[in-house]
Amino acid sequence: MRIRKDDQVLVTVGKDKGKKGRVMKIFPVDASLLIEKVNYQTVYLRRSQANPKGGVTKVEGKISIANVKVVCPRCGKPTRVGYSILADGTKQRNCKRCHEILGG
């Protein structure tokens, strides 16, 4: 996966197009992720002993990985993620625009 937890991403498609947020959780099986404060969905809570009135809340929903781009911390623009192999043999993610090494 080219996107990792705590990356800053930009939504490119859908009702939240143009919004930026931090990746909270990644679901590799269905290639989706949760982004902080993006793609809110309404959840209706049933009445229970813990919550006697029930209620309506909003929670973040999953977004497909194909619908987001990583925002480079150096240039601040949405970019694709590439890889480079360093001299010591480790593999690092980098920004395709400015070639800055991305954290993680």
Q: Please report the DSSP string for 38-57 in residue order.
A: -SEEEEEEPP-SSSTT-EEE
Domain containing residue 31 = 8-74
Question: Is 104 within a domain?
Answer: no
The first and second tokens of residue 35, run together, are 């982004």
CATH code of residue 52: 2.30.30.30
Q: What is the pTM of this model?
A: 0.86
* pLDDT less than 70: residues of the chain: 104
Question: Based on the structure, what is the number of domains in the chain?
Answer: 1
DSSP SS3 for 56:
strand
- Give the mean pLDDT of the chain: 94
Residue whose structure tokens are 């990792």: 4
